[in-house]
Amino acid sequence: MMRMVVVRLALTIPILLGVSLVAFVLMRALPGDFAQASAGTSTISAAALEQIRVNLGLDRPIWEQYLRWLGNALTGDLGRSFASKRPIAGELFPRLAVTAELTLIAGAMALAMGVSTGLASARLRGRTDWMVRGWNSLLLAVPNFVIATLIVLLFGLYFPTIGIFNYVAFATDPLGNLASLLLPALSLSLSVSVTISENTRAAVLEVSSQDYVMVARAKGLHARTILGNYLVRNALTPVITVAGLQAAAMLGGSILIETIFTIPGMGQYLFESVGNRDYPAIQGIVLVAATIVLLMNVLVDIAYARVDARVSYD
Amino acid sequence: MTIGLAMFAALVLVVLLGPLLAPYSPSKTSPDSLAGPSAAHWLGTDSIGRDVLSRLIVGGRGTLLITFVAVALALAVGLVLGLVSGYVGGRVDVVIMRVLDVVFAFPVFLLAIAVVAALGPTLRNLILTIAIVYTPTLARVVRGPVLSVKRWDHVEAARSVGVGEFAIALRHVLPMVISPILVQTSLTLANTIFTVTALSFLGLGPPPPDPNWGSMLADARQFMELAPLTVIGPAAAIVFASLTFIVLANGLREMLDVQGR
Amino acid sequence: MTGALLEVRDLTATFNRDGVPSQVVNGISFDIAPGEAVGFVGESGCGKSVTARSIMRLAPEGSSVEWSGRILFRGQDLLALDEHAMRDVRGRRIAMVFQDPMASLNPVMTIGAQLDDMLCRHTGLSRRAARRRAVELLDLVGIRDPAHRADDYPHQFSGGMRQRVLIAIAVSCQPDLLIADEPTTALDVTVQAQILRLLMRLRRELGMALMLITHDFGVIAGMVARVYVMHGGDIVESGAVDALFAAPRHAYTRALLDAVPRIETAGRRA
C-alpha cells in the first residue's frame, strides 16, 4: 500500500514540474515589462525601474529565475504581491481555506444529492428514473454561474429581506459563516451532482445484476443490509473516482461563484490579481491550485485502492 | 436527433445572419431603460435602453463564432496529435501524452484565466486559450481507437502487402476515429460555451462594445430585480446553446452506436 | 403425499420482458421428502434453474416473473407469503448454492463477514458467537486454518474453495432443504468430485433434503435416490435413479444418458 502511494506521488512530480514551468513561463512571457507592472500605474524613472529589475532578479538568466522561484515555492515562499507588496503566501492561504470550505460543503451537497437521486433512479425505475434523468439532462446545460445568478435573482425578487451577500468569517460567527456559504455551495454543487447521479445510477444498475447480489437475496438478508453492504459498497467505488475528479472542476467553478456571492476565496483573489496585473500572485495561485488538483487525483486513486481490495498499483 | 439538428440549425442561422435578424442595432441606446417586454422590444431593454433581443442575437453571433472557431482549432490540432501519437507510438507517444497531461492537469477555467491574464483579453487570445485547453481531450479520444486499430489483422495484412503507412492511416484508422470524435466534439462545444461565457462574465472575454452573452449577464446583475429579462434572456440563450450541443451529442451517440472507448 | 417436505403442484413461471410474456415452466408437480436427495436433470434452458429459483421466489434483477400453482413447504404455500415472510424462509429454511463461485461472493467483504451476516440475521447470535460459529463452519467444509482465513477476501481463494465457502454459508443456519444449482459446473474436474462428496457428507450430518440440479447425469449418479428429467419446461420422466439408468422410457432421457462419457459414470451400478 505504502509502495503504491509513493509510486503514484512519484508519477505526479513530472507533471507538477511541467505545471510550474507553464505557470512561470506564462507570466514572464508577456508583452510589456514585468518590472513595470510591479510599479503599477505610477510612472517611475528609468533608474528606479532598473533597481526594481535587479531586486526582482530579472537581470539573471531566465532558467535561474525559474529555479529560484520554484525553490522558494517549495519552502512556502511564493514571492511578494505587486499590488499589496506583502508576501503572497500570507494572502493566499487564508483565502484557500475559505475556498476549501466552500468546495467541501459543495462536495458534500453534490454527493448527497447525486448518490440519492442516482440510487433512487436505479432502484425505483419507472417514473422516478425518467424524472431524475430529465432533470439531470437539463441541469447539465446550465453553467454554474448562470445558476448562481438566477438564484440571486430569485432571492432578490421574492425574498428581498434575506441577505445573501453577507459572508462572515468562521472564526467570527461559525453558524453565520455556514449559512452564508449554503447558497454558493448549492450553485457550485448542482452540475457536479448530475455527474455523480448518472454515475451512481449506472454503477448501481450494474451491481444489481451481479451474482453476489442474488446470493445475498437468497440468504434472506434484510433489504437494507443488501442495499448497504452488497449494492452500495460495490457501486460506490467507481463513484468515488468520479467524485474526486469533480473536485477539480469545482475548484475552477469556485472563481465564478465567489465573484457572484462576494466570498473572499482563492478564486476572488485570482480575479483581483488579474485585474491588478499582479503577476507573481497569479503565478502562485495557479501553482497552488494545480498542485491541489493533482494531489486530489492521487488521493482518489488511493481511496479507490483502499475500498476495492482487489486493485493493486504496479 | 432531429430536435438537435433543428436547434443546431437555429444557432447556425444566428451566426450567419446575426445583425440582419436583429430588430435594432445592439448598441443603439434609448431613454427607455429597464423596460419590460413590449411590442417594440420583445424582451425589454437594458440599463441604458438597448434592446435585449438584438443584443442577444448579435451577442450570440459573437459567442458562437468564438466557440466554433476555437473548437475547430482544438479539433484540428487534437486530431493530428492523436493520430501521430497513437500511430507512431513509442517515445513520440509518451512525450506528446506527457505534455498533454500537463495541460490536462489544470482545471480548465484556471488555465484559461491564467493565459488570458498573461496574454491580454483579445479575441485572438481567447480563441487560442480555449483551443489549448480542449486539445488534450480531443487528442485522447482520437488516440484510443488509433491504438487499437493499428493492431488489427487487416491492417497488418495491408502492411504486409506493402501498402504505405500513410495510406493505411487514411483508409483504416480515420473512419474508426470519426464516430467518437464527432460525439466528443459536440460535448466540447457545450463545454466551450460554458468557458467562453464564463470568461466574458468575468470581463475577460472580447472587449466591448460587442455584446456577448456572458458580459450581458454580468452587466445585468446590477439592476436585475427591476428588469429580470436582462438576466433571463442571456441565461436562456446560454442554456439553449449548450442544450443544443448536448442533445446533438446524445443523438450522435445513439445514431452511431458509439461505445465508450 | 403427506409428510412431504416440499410439495409442488402445477407450478408455472411466466417471464415478462418488455411486455412480452414467455412461459418457462409449464405446470410441473413434484415432491421432496424430508432428508431426501432428489436430482433435476436437463439441458440448459429446460427450466430447472427457474424451478429452483421459483421455490425461493427469486426473480432475476430487472425482470418480473409471475408464478401460479402451489409450492407447499412444510404445509405452507410459499407463493402466498408476502416478501417479508419469504425473507425469513430464505436462508433459514431453504438455502441455495449457485453455479459460479467466482462471482457469488461479495468482493468487498471478508468471507467471515459474509458468514456472520447470515448467522446474525437468522439466528440472533451475537457478533462474537457468530464469528465462532463461522469459523466452525469453514472448518466443516474443509477450509484450512479457518480462523485466519475468515479475515481474507474472496479473491484470495480458488474457485473450489469459494464454492466451499458458499456451501458453508448455505448450510450455516441448518436449512431443511438445500438447493444446489449446477454446483460443480464451473469447477475443475478434479475439484468437482470433492465438492459433491462434501455435499453428500453435509447432507448426512445435518439431515437436510437436497435438490441437486444439473445437466450432467454423471453428477447425479451416487448422489440422489430419485431423479426428475426436465425438457422444455415440463417434467418428461421421473423415477428412482437406478431404474432410470437401466431402462429410460423417454427419448430425451435416453439422449441425456448417452451424453455421459462411459468411463466417468461413477457409481453406475449394473
Altogether, the residues listed in chain C come to a count of: 270
Q: Which residues contact A269 (CB under 8 A, 6 or more apart)?
A: A91, A92, A95, A281, A285
| Domain boundaries C6-108+153-262, corresponding CATH code | 3.40.50.300
DSSP state of B51: B
A73 within a domain of the structure (yes/no):
no
> Which structural domain, as residue segments, surrounds residue B227?
2-9+52-257
Structural domains counted in chain B: 1
Domain assignment of residue B43, yes or no: no
The yes-or-no reply on C/A contact (3 CB pairs or more, < 8 Å) is yes
Q: Which of A14, A141, A251 sits opposite B107 (nearest CB)?
A: A251
Which pLDDT score, from 0 to 100, does residue C262 have? 62
| A/C interface, count of CB pairs below 8 Å | 83
**Nearest CB neighbour to A220, from listed C61, C122, C153:** C122
Residues of A in contact with B217 (CB under 8 A): 145-146, 149
Tell me the pTM. Answer: 0.79
Higher-confidence position of A216 and B94: A216
We report the CATH number of the domain holding residue A180 as 1.10.3720.10
Residue C209 has pLDDT above 90, yes or no: yes
Instruction: Give me A302's grid cell.
Output: 488511493
Chain B: residues touching A (Cβ < 8 Å): 98-99, 101-103, 105-111, 113-120, 190, 193-194, 197-198, 201-204, 217, 221, 224-225, 228, 231-232, 235, 238-239, 242-243, 246
- Alpha carbon distance C44, B99 (integer Å): 54
* Partner residue facing B201 (CB), from A137, A145, A275: A145
For C136-165, how does the pLDDT look when each residue is reduced to its tens digit (9 = 90+)?
A: 999 999 999 999 999 999 999 998 999 999
Give the type of residue at A150: L
Q: Which residues of A touch C (CB under 8 A)?
A: 208-223, 225, 229-230, 233-234, 237, 307-310
Using CB atoms and an 8 Å cut-off, which of residues 46-85 of chain C contact chain A? 56, 58, 60-62
Contact A249 B110 (CB under 8 A): no
pLDDT at C1: 47
- Whether residue A64 is contained in a domain is answered as no
What are the structural domain ranges in chain C?
A: 6-108+153-262
Helices (H), B120-228: 123-149, 153-161, 165-168, 174-201, 213-220
User: Which of B3, B102, B124 is best to mutate for the A interface (most A CBs within 10 A)?
Assistant: B102
> Is the pair B, A in contact (3+ CB pairs within 8 Å)?
yes
Looking at chain B, which subunits does it touch, using at least 3 CB pairs closer than 8 Å as the criterion? Answer: A
pLDDT tens digits, residue range A113-156?
A: 999 999 999 888 888 888 998 888 888 889 889 998 888 888 88
B56 occurs within a structural domain? yes
Task: Give the contacts of B7 (CB within 8 A, at least 6 positions apart).
Answer: B240, B243, B244, B247, B248
* Residues contacting residue A129 through CB under 8 Å, at least 6 positions apart: A121, A122, A201
> CB distance A141–B118 less than 8 Å?
no
What whole-number distance in Å separates Cα of residue C131 and Cα of residue C27?
43
Of C186, C63, C183, C16, nearest to A208 (Cα)? C63
> What's the domain count of chain A?
1
Q: Which of B86, B125, B126, B132 has its CA nearest to residue B106? A: B132
State how beta strands C94-97 and C64-73 pair: unpaired
B233 located within any domain: yes
The alpha carbon of residue B235 is apart from the nearest alpha carbon of chain A, in Å, by 6
Q: Considering only CB atoms, which chain C residues are within 8 Å of A213?
A: 61
Q: Which residues of A touch C121 (CB under 8 A)?
A: 219-222, 225
pLDDT (average), residues C250-269: 67
CATH number assigned to the domain comprising residue B203: 1.10.3720.10
Lowest mean pLDDT among A221-230, A293-302, C18-27, C125-134: A293-302
**CA nearest neighbour of B85 among B37, B40, B147, B163:** B147
What is the span of the domain harbouring residue A265?
A: 96-275
Query: Closest-CA residue in chain A for B220?
Result: A149
C91-123: per-residue pLDDT in tens?
Answer: 999 999 999 999 999 988 999 999 999 999 999
Mean pLDDT value across residues C50-59: 92
Output the pLDDT for position C165: 95
State how far residue A303 is from chain C, nearest Cα, in angstroms. Answer: 14
Note the pLDDT tens digit of each residue in A60-87.
777 777 887 788 877 877 777 777 778 8
> Does the beta-carbon distance from B217 to A149 stay under 8 Å?
yes
- Report whether pLDDT(A313) > 50: no
Sheet order of strands, C226-231 included: C94-97, C177-181, C209-214, C37-41, C226-231, C234-240
Would A295 be classed as within a structural domain? no
- Per-residue pLDDT 10s for chain B (261 aa) are 777 788 788 878 777 777 776 777 777 777 777 777 777 777 777 777 778 888 888 888 888 888 899 999 999 998 888 888 877 777 888 888 888 877 777 777 777 777 777 777 777 888 888 888 888 888 888 887 777 776 676 667 777 777 666 676 667 667 777 778 888 888 888 888 888 888 888 887 777 667 888 888 888 888 877 878 888 888 998 998 888 888 888 888 777 764 443
Specify if B143 maps to a domain. Answer: yes
Are C and B touching by the rule of 3+ CB pairs within 8 Å? no
User: Which ipTM did the prediction report?
Assistant: 0.88
* Partner-chain residue, chosen from C108, C117, C166, that has the shortest CB–CB distance to A225: C117
